[in-house]
Amino acid sequence: MNMRAKKITVLGDGGWGTALSILLAKKGVSVNLWSAFPENADDINKNKENTRFLSGFSLPENIIAMSDIREAVSNAATIVVAIPSHFLRRSIKKIKQVDFSGRLILSVVKGIENDTFKRPSEIIKQELGVPAVAVLSGPTIANEVARGLPAGCVIACEDTAAAKRLQAVFITERFRVYTSGDVAGVELGGALKNIIAIASGISDGLALGSNAKAALFTRGLVEMKRLAIFMGADPETLNGLSGIGDLVTTCISPYSRNRRVGQDIARGKRLPDILNNMEMVAEGVETSRSVYSISRKNGIDMPINEQVYEVLFKGKDPRATIMELMLRESKPE
């Protein structure tokens, strides 16, 4: 158990998984970084850089990349899950038989599963049969965290003691970690904000200015809270770092892939072309599809998501969507 205590496994070598590995390694932790691509794992170990998903950062010696997921999790006290949401369930199934008792599992995945409408932590819990899965979310653009710029995030867990242990694992002078008991609220903020980021990108692509973007942001947050309430979260959580905070950074950062999807589509590109040209995943695209189904089925008023969905999947003219949003009946706020 002592060897375990100092070892953390990060599942997923995307930008965020890699940035968190760097942060942990710099704190002296030994990190197993699992990649779904054997050639990537080799490349990382050879070059001490993740050239594919987070280039420009040299990885400390105590990060070891590996491509066998069972080997990667075998001797770690803490497992950080950083797998894109639509690969999550099939990846996690591969470690079903491993004994996770006494270990901490933390998800940093942002999305909602298409058909089941499950949050990532629910999928992990279900597949692994563990009692609790913590989540970490907030305004944490990977590139900036890897550069050591200041950032703050929230770790939520039903098990308060586990949240505090994880807080101690991740906190640094520049990476501030708050704790929360509202797993659903923290997780939904991270997933839903990607939809508003796409809308915000559409607005940018049409050069509609800061006022329009601010209005989308504000009304978008109202929509996010509506769905969060329906899904059992505390809407107040959406006012925190994992809601508003993450929404701000995604809407303004040049690194936001979801914002870029919206921008490209507003400039006339086709969705399949945009996604084919992206090395990484824009989670908001699939989340928008899930949210469209949930909101339709349950009569939840989510006009921004509805417009984003129709632009992404129904070929609707982006300019028409914005005008439709603006022309909704004026009423008390």
Which residues are marked as active site?
193
Q: How far is the CB of 304 from its own copies (least distance, A)?
A: 13
31 DSSP β-pair partners = 8, 63
Q: Does residue 147 touch its own copies according to CB under 8 A? A: yes
Residue whose entry in the numeric block shows the structure tokens 């999790």 = 73
Strand 7-11, strand 30-34: pairing: parallel
Cα gap 316→222, rounded to integer Å: 23
14's tokens: 């995307």
The site that binds its own copies (CB under 8 A) totals a number of residues, namely: 53
Pick the piece of the chain touching its own copies (CB under 8 A) from 58-66, 68-76, 117-125, 243-251.
243-251
Query: Of residues 47, 218, 270, 298, which one binds its own copies by CB under 8 A?
Result: 218
Q: Does residue 318 touch its own copies according to CB under 8 A? A: no
Cα gap 294→299, rounded to integer Å: 8
DSSP state of 117: -
Query: Of residues 255, 270, 298, 301, which one binds its own copies by CB under 8 A?
Result: 255
Q: Closest CB to its own copies among 128 and 141?
A: 141
Q: Does residue 134 touch its own copies according to CB under 8 A? A: no
Q: Does residue 324 touch its own copies according to CB under 8 A? A: no
Q: Does residue 322 touch its own copies according to CB under 8 A? A: yes
Q: Does residue 102 touch its own copies according to CB under 8 A? A: no
Mapping DSSP to helix (H, G, I), strand (E, B) and coil, where does residue 115 land?
coil
The angle subtended at Cα 312 by Cα 309 and Cα 318, nearest 5°, is 90
Non-local (6+) Cβ contacts of 77 within 8 A are 1, 4, 5, 6, 7, 8, 103, 104
Contact 274, 265 (CB under 8 A): yes
Mapping DSSP to helix (H, G, I), strand (E, B) and coil, where does residue 179 land?
strand
Pick the piece of the chain touching its own copies (CB under 8 A) from 20-28, 67-75, 121-129, 143-151.
143-151
Residues that bind its own copies (CB under 8 A): 139-141, 144-145, 147, 149-152, 154, 167, 171, 173-174, 176-180, 208-215, 217-218, 221-222, 237, 239-241, 244-246, 248-249, 251-253, 255, 322-323, 326-327, 330-333
